[in-house]
Amino acid sequence: MKAIRELIWKGSYGATTIDQICDKAGVKKGSFYYFFDSKVELALVGMEVDWSQHRPELDAIFSPTVPPLERLQRYCDYFYRFQAEICKQYGCVLGCPLFSVGAEVSTQEDHRLQQKIQEILEYKRKYLETAIRDAQAAGLVDAPDPAAKSRILFAYYQGLATQARIQNNLDVLKDAISGTYELLGVKKSAAVAA
Amino acid sequence: MKAIRELIWKGSYGATTIDQICDKAGVKKGSFYYFFDSKVELALVGMEVDWSQHRPELDAIFSPTVPPLERLQRYCDYFYRFQAEICKQYGCVLGCPLFSVGAEVSTQEDHRLQQKIQEILEYKRKYLETAIRDAQAAGLVDAPDPAAKSRILFAYYQGLATQARIQNNLDVLKDAISGTYELLGVKKSAAVAA
DNA sequence: ATAATTGTTGACTAACTAGTCAACTTAGAT
DNA sequence: ATCTAAGTTGACTAGTTAGTCAACAATTAT
């Protein structure tokens, strides 16, 4: 379980072989096929496990009890710290596996993995939408269409994460919060407050 | 040449084998190794060829003779039309190969491909930076730091392209120009003019 | 024409790939 | 203790992979 996540995160989904997974997991191939029918099957469960581990943390960060702009601030901080830790552990910036794996498998015939990834990504976007809507209601930002704004912000985050991975540079992520504010048209006073 | 571009664009770099490339190109493996030492070598030349074909079009779109905001408008249009054509040809949205391949190979030991990709990406960002600087000089946008803004805009485009690929949905790209305007803080009057 | 260079090929290794399976080991229930 | 179900394994296909190479063909120079 941990093995496949590491391998497809650090390397790529397509280039990760079942032999590699078994080696890393210290398990023989027979055992693998006792539990899973194929690599896709394992990847699906892996994604699910990963998501279920992140979900509580995101629920806390995006809790409605937290002021909306602070949620975004905390999320940017969290993402940076998380990537920094991963970077220290694996020696390079890995970004978000949902993006890199998603982009890689999107053209495959078997659509199950794409669907799962899109599903989780949509959950994540929802956090942003709610935060933006609350910020708009509080008059903190200029976002008459929170859903549209959340898509823009989400695309921005996705781009940042991918850039950080490609450039292998954590500093790229440091612009996240200022970029968020510019993108949302945060009013000066609100920015200082958050 | 055309073969590898199609294969690693539609599929992935890692999962594309030299046998596949040779088959698609109608060439035997011996010939391949007569010209290239490895897959990386071929991919490097492929990227270079691809870039040299796009460059004149981008030079035209971002010509200093064109009003700055119109450059961005034209670029968004161009990108959409280009993706639509590719989509009709291959049956699915493929996004930008620099992003998908870049994300995939970024953790490899051999850094040559990453370097080439980063180099081309940096060229592309420069187009945006110049357009934003000109727009700022003309008082059309609120961008005191054009380089920083261009990084934000570039990340946004990168995210959009990746999303379009993951969701296999061209409509994602339709938000590009309105997102650009929101992101740059385009003044109402300037937006109407462009 | 002929020699030299450039390019092409099929046949070849040796390592790796996904996937199967009968035999084995463990752990839990009775 | 012993029976059973759950899990593990090594050895096994059969196809694919990267990469090599001597022999062959095509082009070009002289």
A18 CA → D8 C1’, Å: 17
Instruction: Say if B114 is an interface residue toward chain A (CB within 8 Å).
Output: yes
- CB contact set of A101 (below 8 Å; sequence gap of 6+): A8, A9, A12, A13, A43, A113, A117
Chain B positions in Cβ-Cβ contact with residue A167 (cut-off 8 Å):
106, 118
Q: Which nucleotide C1' is nearest B32 CA? A: C8
Contact A148 B175 (CB under 8 A): yes
Distance CA A142, CA A123 (A): 23
Of B103, B107, B183, the CB nearest to A162: B103
Dump pLDDT digits (tens) for A77-88: 999 999 999 999
Chain B positions in Cβ-Cβ contact with residue A100 (cut-off 8 Å):
103-104
Q: Which nucleotide C1' is nearest B31 CA? A: C8
At residue B37, what are phi and psi to the nearest 5 degrees? Answer: -85, -25
Q: What is the pTM of this model?
A: 0.94
Q: How many CB pairs under 8 A join A and B?
A: 135
Of B165, B178, B179, the CB nearest to A106: B165
Q: How large is the average pLDDT for residues A103-113?
A: 93
Footprint of strand D on the protein (CB under 7 A): A 27-31, 34-35; B 17-20, 29-30, 33, 38-39
Dump pLDDT digits (tens) for A51-78: 999 999 999 999 999 999 999 999 999 9
Instruction: Say if A162 is an interface residue toward chain B (CB within 8 Å).
Output: yes
Contact A104 B100 (CB under 8 A): yes
Footprint of strand C on the protein (CB under 7 A): A 17-20, 29-30, 33, 38-39; B 27-31, 34-35
- Residue A193 has what pLDDT? 61
Q: How large is the average pLDDT for residues B21-41?
A: 95
Q: Give CA separation, B96 vs A17, A68, A165, B85, B164, in Å.
A: 26, 33, 16, 13, 10
- The answer to which of A166-175, A183-192, B34-43, B87-96 has the lowest mean pLDDT is A183-192
Dump pLDDT digits (tens) for B91-119: 999 999 999 999 999 999 999 999 999 99
- Residue B186 has what pLDDT? 87
Distance CA A180, CA B1 (A): 41
- Does position A140 have pLDDT exceeding 80, yes or no? yes
- Does position A1 have pLDDT exceeding 90, yes or no? no
Q: Confirm if A74 and A58 have CB atoms less than 8 A apart.
A: no
Contact B103 A157 (CB under 8 A): no
Q: Which nucleotide C1' is nearest B40 CA? A: D18
- Residue A4 has what pLDDT? 85
- Residue B76 has what pLDDT? 98
Distance CA A52, CA A57 (A): 10
Q: Confirm if B93 and B165 have CB atoms less than 8 A apart.
A: yes
Helices (H) and strands (E) in chain B, counts: 10, 0
Instruction: Say if B100 is an interface residue toward chain A (CB within 8 Å).
Output: yes
- Does position A165 have pLDDT exceeding 70, yes or no? yes
Nucleotides of D under 7 A from a protein CB: 7-11, 16-22
Nucleotides of C under 7 A from a protein CB: 7-11, 16-22
Q: How large is the average pLDDT for residues B44-72?
A: 96
Dump pLDDT digits (tens) for B134-193: 999 999 999 999 999 999 999 999 999 999 999 999 999 999 999 999 999 887 666 666
- Does position A190 have pLDDT exceeding 70, yes or no? no
- Residue A188 has what pLDDT? 67
